[in-house]
Amino acid sequence: MSDQRVVVIGAGHGGFHVGLFLRMHGFEGRVTILDGQDRLPYQRPPLSKEFLQGKQELTETEFRSASFYDDHDLTLIKGASVSGIDRAERQVVVAGREPIPYDNLVIATGSRPRSLPVPGADLPGVLPLAVADHASSLRDRINAAHRVAVIGGGFIGLESAAMAAEAGKQVTVFEAAGRLMERVVSEPMSRFYEDLHRARGVDVRLRSVVAAIQGDEHGGATGVVTGDGARHPADVVVVGVGAVARDELAAEAGLETNNGVVVGPTLQTSDPLVYAIGDCARFGTRFSATAASVRLESVQNATDQAKFVAVHIHDRPTDRTFDAVPWFWTEQLGHKLQIAGLTDGSDRMDRVATDDGKFSIYCYRGDRLIGCESVNSPRDHVRARKELGAALDTALTT
């Protein structure tokens, strides 16, 4: 039994998996996982998919049951919002509790939904979709609604729109950019999903900026006003306009931040005792054709970084750096999109389709494959991930 103490802030995809992987790798020290939410740690992807569709309940999204934490000697403290990191004393501060000391600290605080700076955005009938409580409220409100307005045509907005359309609601998506999912997919893929949504009756409005949300005296939403002054009636408004890193704790503790907690190749912050992973971390990657460092919001990234950090804390290898191939997925209207790599900055694309409607768009920069977007084609996706990883390995050894 070791007396090393690891404290993890955040019990989402990253934080939960740090605890899990530490034990899987034989770490015998103390592990404390703190989360501001008063729930067993749970998965996010089903919130905007199976849960919204009514095919799953919240308990089914939990990573593990309560006994798992006792069985693996993981101290999970729910409802414990960390208010400070005291690096000099090596402890974290939680209101109403004794400070919690650490030898290694992992910041896995995730991201928070970007707020919409327009009048009416704070009405109770206007909801983001980031945590279980939001998903619960949204499910009830969408079920009771006739017209649903979705602000933001990214993954979460479109998954919500898809669910509402499938439930027979009248859905309008307002997207400020000229195409859907602009930040993460190629133009042809945006158009494919735009056509799909339109074919299912979703009113997709591109280059449409929301200027205000209107409500009634009970706090319910009644409509959305766009920049051209037009009023669009709605009974519920879903806001999915991106997320920002929760990096304030790190910044206040004097750690380097830059729209995310800045970490080096071993995911250590500017203090080597402190790691940051998942949505809140900004790290260098060879997989981006356009940026030296990135902040990724995906289950794969949080989980792979958790695994890396668990091994790094336990084994202290000196020759390993983090460079997992990034991948993402979304599911809308029965069409699963899987993305391997980062396709931003591609200058050439190849579309490869099969007769049964499956297809993939391979994105290149010069001769180099930088990413692959596959619709209903997991085989292409897995192959592309391997190819991207192999290309990196070759680059590292030559």
Q: Which stretches of the chain bind ligand FAD, using CB under 6 A?
A: 9-15, 34-37, 44-45, 47-48, 81-82, 108-110, 129-130, 156, 246, 249, 278-280, 297-300, 302, 328-330
What minimum distance in Å lies between the beta carbon of 219 and ligand FAD?
A: 23
Q: Which is nearer to ligand FAD, 226 or 300 (CB)?
A: 300
What minimum distance in Å lies between the beta carbon of 297 and ligand FAD?
A: 4
What minimum distance in Å lies between the beta carbon of 170 and ligand FAD?
A: 22
What minimum distance in Å lies between the beta carbon of 343 and ligand FAD?
A: 15
Q: Which is nearer to ligand FAD, 32 or 223 (CB)?
A: 32
Q: Which is nearer to ligand FAD, 175 or 232 (CB)?
A: 175
What minimum distance in Å lies between the beta carbon of 231 and ligand FAD?
A: 28
What minimum distance in Å lies between the beta carbon of 156 and ligand FAD?
A: 5
Q: Which is nearer to ligand FAD, 48 or 269 (CB)?
A: 48
Q: Which is nearer to ligand FAD, 12 or 341 (CB)?
A: 12
Q: Which of 38, 50, 134, 24 has its CA nearest to residue 77?
A: 38
What minimum distance in Å lies between the beta carbon of 172 and ligand FAD?
A: 20
Q: Please state the φ and ψ torsions of residue 229, each to the nearest 5 degrees.
A: 90, -5
Q: Which is nearer to ligand FAD, 35 or 235 (CB)?
A: 35
What minimum distance in Å lies between the beta carbon of 117 and ligand FAD?
A: 21
Q: Which is nearer to ligand FAD, 232 or 302 (CB)?
A: 302
Q: Which is nearer to ligand FAD, 14 or 215 (CB)?
A: 14
Residue nearest to ligand FAD (CB): 12
